[in-house]
Amino acid sequence: MSTTENAIASAEAHSAHNYHPLPVVVATADGAWMTDVEGRRYLDMLAGYSALNFGHGNRRLIDAARAQLERVTLTSRAFHHDRFADFCTRLAELCGMEMVLPMNTGAEAVETAVKTARKWGYRVKGVPDGMAKIIVAADNFHGRTTTVISFSTDPEARADFGPYTPGFEIVPYGDLTAMRAAMTENTVAVLIEPIQGEAGVLVPPPGYLAGVRELTRERGVLFIADEIQSGLGRTGKTFACEHEGVVPDMYLLGKALGGGVVPVSAVVSSAAVLGVYRPGEHGSTFGGNPLACAVALEVIAMLNTGEYQQRAAELGDHLHHELGLLAGGGSVQAVRGRGLWAGVDIEPELGTGREISEKLMERRVLVKDTHGSTIRIAPPLVIGKEDLDWGLEQLREVLRG
Ligand SMILES: *Cc1c(COP(=O)(O)O)cnc(C)c1O
């Protein structure tokens, strides 16, 4: 057996089969490229679902992490540490908000948002105890915890994991009329992705986000934007909400916030909302740890230059132009997305998304399928234009058959 086959066989024997990875075993990575255990190089066109927006082994991020590793890595929130205040201040500034509640994973940020919205609903809005409702969208992806999958519409994500957490109303994504109809005095929040990533990079109809903003403001409901995947540069702006000039009441951030180095997530909102917490009511052993704060501070500094957003916008225009040419040609049904982020619906007779991904892997390009015959393309924002073009050429070759 090859080194690759060995590694895969032993992973299959000793790890739960909750993933079906492509048969590549990565050993090292740099920028937009990964090298496997046999020395083969692959172009990373997934970027860890946007956790690697700044590329593999980004110098600034690795240096920030290394320097912090030598100082202090963990204190718990039982004590203050000297990176915490800066992290919260700078992140609030980046978001144009006032307060930050740091966690680790995206799902935890979503859980924190659910708890925050409910508490705000009872303490500030005056919803009767236990009656708070949160409106979410069909085909959402907000993570894998029991409460979060309770409001998923994906049978794979939900089946066999009940009983489910109550308190959620599901409405079609992009449908303001349905959202308005679902709202009652007990609605505390609307929780949506400004672009639905896992659903296939679905961009809502123009005016939708602005409409959600108007409706939620009018009804005294919190607008929670899950920007865990769409935020921090991916779409060509710091936040995908900016494309409609919308500022929500709460941003949920994760993935790229940890620079591909450590898991860092956060809920960012106003003092009126996050101010509802008192000591002991919520927490996390690792949330806001010194290493996480040091890396995230560097991520924030990099985003403050605007260069990554600009790069995503420029390369994104190029990507969508090239994919748009394919969309007319009989092999691609539709292309969606914004910035350096695309969902590509391949003609089903050419293969499932998985099969296309495997063929791309043989040509040394790594992508991930979503449902059916859709693949998503989301390379690190630091990818070179020539590399992006080379990756697109491999896709054209695969589609040529
Ligand atoms: C990835 C993702 C999450 C969950 O993040 P984890 O870190 O995997 O828990 C939540 N919301 C969105 C939009 C995501 O893309």
In this prediction, residue 285 carries a pLDDT of 97
| Last-in-domain residue among 304, 335, 351 | 304
In this prediction, residue 328 carries a pLDDT of 80
318 and 382 share one domain: yes
Catalytic (active site) residue 141 = yes
Task: Please check whether residue 135 lies inside any domain of the structure.
Answer: yes
User: For 249-355, where are the E strands, in sequence order?
Assistant: 250-253, 265-269, 332-337, 342-346
Per DSSP, the three-state class of 326 is: helix
Q: How many residues does the chain have?
A: 401
CA distance 200 to 197: 6
User: Greatest CA separation found in the chain?
Assistant: 64
98 and 10 share one domain: no
Q: Which atom of ligand 1 is nearest to the CA of 193?
A: 13
Task: Please check whether residue 348 lies inside any domain of the structure.
Answer: yes
Say what the alpha-carbon torsion angle 82, 292, 309, 249 is, to the nearest 10 degrees.
Answer: -80
pLDDT along the chain (401 residues), means of 10: 94 96 98 98 98 98 98 97 98 98 98 98 98 98 98 97 98 98 98 97 98 98 98 98 98 98 98 98 98 98 98 98 92 97 96 96 96 94 98 97 81
CA distance 393 to 15: 35
C-alpha distances in angstroms, 318 versus 252, 311, 339, 362, 388?
Answer: 29, 11, 9, 24, 9
- Ligand 1 center to 209 CA (angstroms): 20
Please tell me the total count of domains within the chain. Answer: 2
Catalytic (active site) residue 133 = no
In this prediction, residue 12 carries a pLDDT of 94
178 and 256 share one domain: yes
Pair 268, 249: CB distance under 8 Å: no
In this prediction, residue 401 carries a pLDDT of 81
Task: Please check whether residue 62 lies inside any domain of the structure.
Answer: no
| Ligand 1 pocket, mutate which of 50, 104, 228 (most atoms under 8 A from CB) | 228
What DSSP element (H or E) covers 133?
Answer: strand 133-137
Structural domain of 21:
3-57+307-400
136 and 270 share one domain: yes
DSSP 225: E
The pocket around ligand 1, CB under 6 angstroms, is made up of: 49, 105-107, 110, 141-143, 193, 197, 226, 228-229, 254-255
In this prediction, residue 158 carries a pLDDT of 97
H-helix segments, 328-368: 353-362
320 and 187 share one domain: no
Task: Name the nearest CA neighbour of 20 among 393, 380, 372, 354.
Answer: 354
274 and 292 share one domain: yes
257 and 199 share one domain: yes
| Ligand 1 pocket, mutate which of 53, 152, 229 (most atoms under 8 A from CB) | 229
265 and 344 share one domain: no
